[in-house]
Structure formats: structure tokens, C-alpha cells
Amino acid sequence: MNTLLRCGVALATLAPALFSIPASAADWGPTKPVRFIVGFPPGGATDLVARFLQPKLAASLGNQVIVDNRPGANGVISMQILSRSEPDGHSVGMSHIGSMVVSPAIQKTGYDPIKDFTHLGMLVSLQNMLIVHPSVPAKNLAEFIASAKSQPGKINYATSGIGSPGHLAMALLESMTGAQMNHVPYKGGGPAVTDLIAGHIPSFMAVISTAVPHVQSGKARALGVTGGKRAEAVPDVPTIAEAGVKGYLAINWYGLSAAPKTPPAIIARLNREFNAALNAPDVVKQLKERGIDAAPGTGADYVKFIRAETERWVPVIRKARIEAN
């Protein structure tokens, strides 16, 4: 066999292998609409963040990005759907402290928060805000806590669900102040804030982005934010630590996850496009106006963060005896 013929045979043998090599991150692109699964109803903070990012992602990925709201069980239902999705990059989901830390600690979720997903990175960090209906007599946090102490278990407070960031934030507040209140869980921030504005429930530990418009319009009164610094969107609202509960801190966060075993090339492309969307000036502005901070990063860093948050919050969950329905 001459040299030229041998080369031809070799190339023919290699051809199937060459065509089976996964596309690079630069080459991969969605061949159908990308489903962005959100575990809460429209109107809440998770949905808001997804819809801020949606047009940027559709443009950069060259295909539709559809926000798919799948509420229930503090985000668990949405993550169950994601864990069973095809690992082809056409389904991503918004994971958060409730679905990644709290729910796995208090119930059988059907998934391992680390092993059963391919995590792409953090999306945003944000504070919670304790708000009350304008008819509530308490004008500040100290008065609210004093009122709660004077009538243990009588003051109702809403959250977006059992084990939600708001539930954790209130459990920590009760633990640090000795106040006892009555938790009323909703299926999301949207329905909860609607009931607060209507006067059906007096207080709500809300994700800040849900609360800000209503505080600014005067439909709700803010008593404090849960982070380590005041929020730019509402600079006159003190932190809960400033308002008298020294050492208090409860930060909320959302990250991005995909189906298990999603190929690295796909993950790299999605990570790059989501980070670019988070860094876009108009998106940063939209987020800041709602008190949300963009927090782009890597999948490895996000996994480390989930582990650290688990170590921090599980003792609080145990002490508060938070249990699933």
C-alpha cells in the first residue's frame, strides 16, 4: 500500500471519531428554545431576575429563552424537573437557598443538591426586607419587636414559603430577640405582597426586590433590611443590626443550575452568556433599582458557596424546628 493510500485509510478510520468530538464552548448553541425554570409564580424576585436576563440571553444565544414558572414546595418542584431534564443545555433552572439548603435539610426532595445538578454559577445576591402594612402601629423595628414580645404568637408574618429565605430570616430574628410570631407561608412573594397591601396580613419578610416598589409608593412601611449594609434602592431603611439587633445578618441568593452530566462545553457557553448578561449596564441598573446585586462567577465557586451556606444555616433550621408540611 503506498503512502498516499495509507493516509487515506487512516483519515477514513479517524473520521467518525473526529465527528464525535464535542463542540467547543464557542461552537455550541441551542437548537431550540431554552427553558429557564423558575420555582415561584410571576411577580416574585426569582421571576423578576429571570425576566431581566431573558432578552439578553435570547440575543446572545441566538434562540428564544422561555421563563417557565413551576411554583411549589419552596422551589423543590422546579429543581426536581431540572434534575430529570436532558443534559443538552436546553433547560436551566434558578436554584437558591430554599431549594439547595433548607428543603434538603427538612424533607425528602428526591435530589442531592450537589450531585444531581451541574451548577453554572451564582447569579445575584440580595437582602430581605421586613415590611408592614401602613395600619400597623409599630413605626420601627424596636416597636415591632416589643409588640411581638407583648403578645407571643399573635402577630402574623408572611413569607414566600416554609424554609424560604424570609422564613429563615424571621427564624433568626426570633432567635436573637426572643420574640415569638406566627408564620403564614405563601407559594411565592407575589401572592404574599398582594395580601399585605390589601391588609389581609400585617407583616411580610420579603425579598427586597418584591418590597421596594411598595415601600416607595407608601403602600408598605419598611422596618429593616437583613444585610450588612443599607440597600441603595432604599437608603433610609436601616439594617436590622443597625436597628438594634446587633450581629444580625441574613443574605438571600440565586444561582444557576443545569441537568446532571451536562457537557463542559455547554456549561462554559451558558456560564459565559449569563455572566455577560449580568454585567450588562442596563441589567445592572435594573437590578440595583430593586436592591439586587449581580454576582457572576464560576460553577466551582457556587458549589463551595452552597456547602458553606449549608453549614451556616442548618443549625438555625434545627433550632427553629422548621419542618416541611
> Would you say 260 and 118 are in contact if contact means Cβ atoms under 8 Å apart?
yes
In sequence order, what E strands does the chain have? 34-38, 65-69, 91-96, 118-132, 156-159, 182-185, 203-207, 221-225, 251-258, 292-294
> What is the per-residue pLDDT across 120-169, written as a single tens digit (0 to 9) for each?
999 999 999 999 999 999 999 999 999 999 999 999 999 988 888 899 99
Buried b (16+ CB within 10 A) or exposed e, 287-322: beebbbbbbbbebeebbebbeebbeebeebbeebeb
Give the DSSP letter string of 82-125.
HHTS-SSSSEEEEEEHIIIIIHHHHS--SS-TTTTSEEEEEEEE
In sequence order, what E strands does 218-262 have? 221-225, 251-258
Mean model confidence pLDDT for the chain: 91
**Contact residues for 196 (Cβ-Cβ < 8 A; gap 6+):** 131, 132, 133, 158, 202, 203, 204, 214, 220
pLDDT at 188: 83
Among 3.40.190.150, 3.40.50.720, 3.50.50.60, 3.40.109.10, name the CATH number for the domain at 34-125+252-320.
3.40.190.150
Buried b (16+ CB within 10 A) or exposed e, 166-199: bbbbbbbbbeebebebebbbbbbbbbbbeebbee
pLDDT at 13: 44
34-125+252-320 against 127-225: fold identical: yes
Assess whether pLDDT exceeds 60 at residue 325.
yes
CATH class of segment(s) 127-225: alpha beta
Assess whether pLDDT exceeds 80 at residue 30.
yes
DSSP letter at 74?
G
Which grid cell is 188? 411565592
pTM, rounded to two decimals: 0.81
Assess whether pLDDT exceeds 60 at residue 16.
no
Assess whether pLDDT exceeds 70 at residue 41.
yes
Measure the N-to-C terminal CA separation of the chain; round to a whole number of Å: 75
pLDDT at 190: 87
Assess whether pLDDT exceeds 60 at residue 3.
no
Q: Indicate the Cα dihedral angle 155, 161, 166, 170, nearest 10°.
A: 40
pLDDT at 24: 52
d(CA 112, CA 121): 17
Output Rg (C-alpha) for the chain, integer angstroms.
Answer: 23
pLDDT at 176: 96
Domain ranges of the chain: 34-125+252-320, 127-225
Assess whether pLDDT exceeds 90 at residue 290.
no
Residue 291 or residue 19, greater confidence: 291
Residue 14 or residue 318, greater confidence: 318
